[in-house]
Structure 1
Amino acid sequence: MPARGTDPPPSAATLRRLERASGAIATRAVARMDEDLPWFRAMPADQRSWVMLVAQAGIASLVEWCRNPGRPPRLTGEVFGAAPRDLVRAVPLKQTVDLVKLTVEVMDDHVESVAEPGDAVPLRMAVLQFSREVAFATAHVYASFAENRGAWDARLEALVVDALVRGERTEELPGRTAALGWAGTEPVTVLVGAAPPDGDAHAAVRRAARSSGGEVLVGVHAEQLVVVLGGAEDVAAAAARVAEEFGPGPVVLGPVVDRLSAAGGSAAAALAGLRAARAWPGAPRPVSADALLPERALDGDPLARAALSERVVLPLRGAGGEVLETVRAVLAGGGNLEASARALFVHPNTVRYRLKRAAELTGQVATDPRGAWTLHVALALADLDGGRSLWH
């Protein structure tokens, strides 16, 4: 920072008087803050005391600066080093500017009483120029804090996403997510897919999520982009918007859960779906992990196999032999209802009624290609499991 130029410095006697008066000036500055700034009155006592120390350090730095006109001021350490870093979190930049402004005004008010005869103008000019240096130092402190906080947040976010992907249940998760600004946002779901090849997608994903009214945690895990999406009113619409920011290939949406601590299950299902998605080349983007249950089961996912049994096989078996027999006949007949009716010796309307009942129970339509595939895989796996139980 450049020196003060040709302005004459205050005399040594004036600087000694200013140094002796620094405590009283700082006390008066804090009193003015208390009078003029309602938010300052509401601050805890420890933070108010730190502000007092910063004001005193600022006056001391002014004295030292005036005694050594050619020395660049080191205000970041000399002035703001008196306060802990927590104070930067507690006091926003705009409020800090108000504090500096009031302190400078109080110092200016004391110029006449502190300066030796003929020294008022040099001291006032020194205060004015010093306040400019303080403004630059303030901006530097907050810019450095923002940069460091951004790097810390990125590391913390990566730890949270990694813990969810690994299915870890850690007591630190609520505190870590709260530090990232995630405050009980629900519902929650997880999207996974390829990371974009052209660089960091974090900012684009955040914009996409917030445009849909949601919040996100973003991480890259083994070259896969993992997005934890929460708080969106329309989860499907928000997921579709966020999916646009992924790299080429499938994007899988995990099941919706009611809290972040349960997002590990959503992530596990989404990752299993991503591994199996290659078996469904025409899958929509994003595709839900539940829609990929057949492929996941064939890929060896025990959770998918159990889900097919619970959602498809058991309801069909519980509905009675006629419904299950009809579903098997329609699958074997390629969806031809008339042929299935002849094979079962019933009217086609009876077949339609039974298929409607099966669809109500399982959510799968036997005459729809995708529904037929899901039913076929679920029943085949159940038959294999039943065969194993006979042999063991």
Structure 2
Amino acid sequence: MSHDAGTPTPPAFDGVVLHQRLSDALPVLAGRVLDRLVDHVPVYDTMPGEQLRGEIQRVVEQGIGSFAAMLRTGRPPDESQLLALRQSAAKRAEEGVPVEAVVRAYHVGAQECLQQMLVHATEDDLEHVQAATVLVLQFLERMTVTVVAGFFAERQAVLGEEQSARQALLTALVEGADVAGTAARWGLDLPPCYLVLDLAIGAHPDEALDGVSPVIAAKRKLRRLRVELDRHVDGTVLSALSGDGGLALIPCRTDPDHVTGQDWTRLAGAVAHMRKVAGVDITAGAASAVAEDVPAAVALAQEVRRVAAASERPPGLYRLSDVLLEYQLMRPGPARDELAGLVRPLTARPELLDTVRAYLRCGLSRRRTAQELCVHPNTVDYRLRRAAEITGLDVTAGPDALRVRAAVSALDAAGGP
């Protein structure tokens, strides 16, 4: 298969070298490849005819020409020969064509070329068929590397620009700056309103494991959270998240007055999925607002989340309507201070205050309270009696239970974050 040690003999079928067969059949072969792309790679069937029979056909012809040169010399194409293919892959990335479709197109083209050439092979050409097959695989390897590199170089540039646009719009929304102007400069559309989430994110167990980088564990957690949020939400989410929390603005198709309970249920479901996939606790305060009112909605969502946490609500999504009583009780003022004063003496006896909290949290059930605190029910009864003696309020009595609950919420607000 070689004239000398350094120059391979070009493979030939039925006495005609393959590179010559490819060159002679180039126009017809390029048309066959295009037809096969349309049939086997769906995205190419959606391209305009002018693009398909113009730019794409030229790229196909250049690919066949590069392979013909490789068959003649035995050497893979260099970077200058592959420049057009790299540029074509970058254009497909810009157009949003999936990378798997781009890579598959080159494999489909190579298969078509090989099949059209194999019909000329005879029984005596086995060695040449083997040589040609090896060259096809080497060519595809070089082609795949070139195409993927070109595709992702462009995709990274596009993603960088998209991320800059999102960050600029998020900043403008949160700061109450020129939102409409910022959106116009970056070519972004503003939705009728945003659903605002203020998130508190718990630590993943991996973040505390010996030998595991907490930074890497936190980044993996955030990646799962972002992917899950994008998967369950329509439209582009604007977010600024860190390991322990952050902000997310969810586009909504209706104005704030027409956001339905179903919309909030779907968003609560998305938060629940985020918790499950990431394996962490998430408490979220939520509000809705038009673009101009996002700063106020951010402040409200943050306050709702803090109230939910201070009142020991379980992880999940909360709106103002979910914590109305606690929210109002936690407003600063003389009434709140006096209300907190009703149970403030219990701060000197933490075990009594903790028992009162647990009793309220457990629906006024002494048995559940004992289980949660890992004590005997009689111990719960004793502590609740002592708390009643100190405060004058009996949390086990109907008339006092609501007052004690309100007083504990006020105490949390007065001494909380």
Contact (CA 8 Å) 1:192, 1:253: kept in 2 or not? yes
Contact (CA 8 Å) 2:284, 2:317: kept in 1 or not? yes
Distance 1:157 1:85 in 2: 22
1:273-326 deviation line (CA, Å, top 9, x unaligned): 67xx49985454568574575599649xxxxxxxxxxxxxxxxxxxxxxxxxxx
Contact (CA 8 Å) 1:251, 1:287: kept in 2 or not? yes
SS at match of 2:224: helix
Given the superposition, is the C-alpha separation of residues 134 and 23 from structure 1 closer, same or farther in structure 2, using an over 3 Å criterion? same
1:78 aligned to 2:83?
Answer: yes
Distance 1:134 1:96 in 2: 11
Which one-letter code corresponds to 2:168 in the other structure? Answer: L
Q: Which TM-score applies when normalising by structure 2? A: 0.51
2:37 alignment partner in structure 1: 33
2:226 alignment partner in structure 1: 206
Given the superposition, is the C-alpha separation of residues 109 and 261 from structure 1 closer, same or farther in structure 2, using an over 3 Å criterion? farther
Distance 2:33 2:222 in 1: 44
2:379 alignment partner in structure 1: none
More off after superposition, 29-38 vs 279-288: 279-288
Q: Which TM-score applies when normalising by structure 1? A: 0.53
Given the superposition, is the C-alpha separation of residues 151 and 188 from structure 1 closer, same or farther in structure 2, using an over 3 Å criterion? same
Given the superposition, is the C-alpha separation of residues 38 and 282 from structure 1 closer, same or farther in structure 2, using an over 3 Å criterion? closer
Mapping 1:262-301, distance limit 5 Å? 263-271=294-302, 277=306, 281-282=310-311, 284=313, 290=320, 291=323, 298=332
Match of 1:87 among 92, 96, 119: 92
Match of 1:188 among 181, 195, 204: 195
1:387 alignment partner in structure 2: none
2:114 alignment partner in structure 1: 108
Mapping 1:253-332, distance limit 5 Å? 253-257=285-289, 263-271=294-302, 277=306, 281-282=310-311, 284=313, 290=320, 291=323, 298=332
Distance 1:177 1:151 in 2: 15
1:69 alignment partner in structure 2: 74
2:26 alignment partner in structure 1: 22
**What's the offset of the Cα at 1:102?**
3.5
**What's the offset of the Cα at 1:138?**
4.1
Which one-letter code corresponds to 2:45 in the other structure? Answer: R
**What's the offset of the Cα at 1:265?**
3.9
SS at match of 1:255: strand
Which one-letter code corresponds to 2:180 in the other structure? Answer: T
Which one-letter code corresponds to 1:204 in the other structure? Answer: R
**5+ unaligned residues in a row in structure 1: which ranges?**
300-326, 335-364, 378-392
**What's the offset of the Cα at 1:83?**
1.6
SS at match of 1:170: helix
Given the superposition, is the C-alpha separation of residues 370 and 167 from structure 1 closer, same or farther in structure 2, using an over 3 Å criterion? farther
1:50 alignment partner in structure 2: 55
Which one-letter code corresponds to 2:173 in the other structure? Answer: L
Distance 2:158 2:329 in 1: 42
TM-align CA RMSD:
5.6
- Equivalent pairs counted in the alignment come to 304
Distance 1:29 1:229 in 2: 44
**What's the offset of the Cα at 1:253?**
0.9
**What's the offset of the Cα at 1:58?**
0.8
Distance 2:265 2:17 in 1: 69
1:226 alignment partner in structure 2: 247
Contact (CA 8 Å) 1:270, 1:289: kept in 2 or not? yes
**5+ unaligned residues in a row in structure 2: which ranges?**
1-5, 204-213, 252-262, 343-400
Residue identity (%): 15
Distance 1:189 1:247 in 2: 20
Distance 1:190 1:232 in 2: 11
Given the superposition, is the C-alpha separation of residues 148 and 184 from structure 1 closer, same or farther in structure 2, using an over 3 Å criterion? same
Distance 1:271 1:177 in 2: 30
Contact (CA 8 Å) 1:194, 1:246: kept in 2 or not? no
SS at match of 1:83: helix
Given the superposition, is the C-alpha separation of residues 185 and 130 from structure 1 closer, same or farther in structure 2, using an over 3 Å criterion? farther
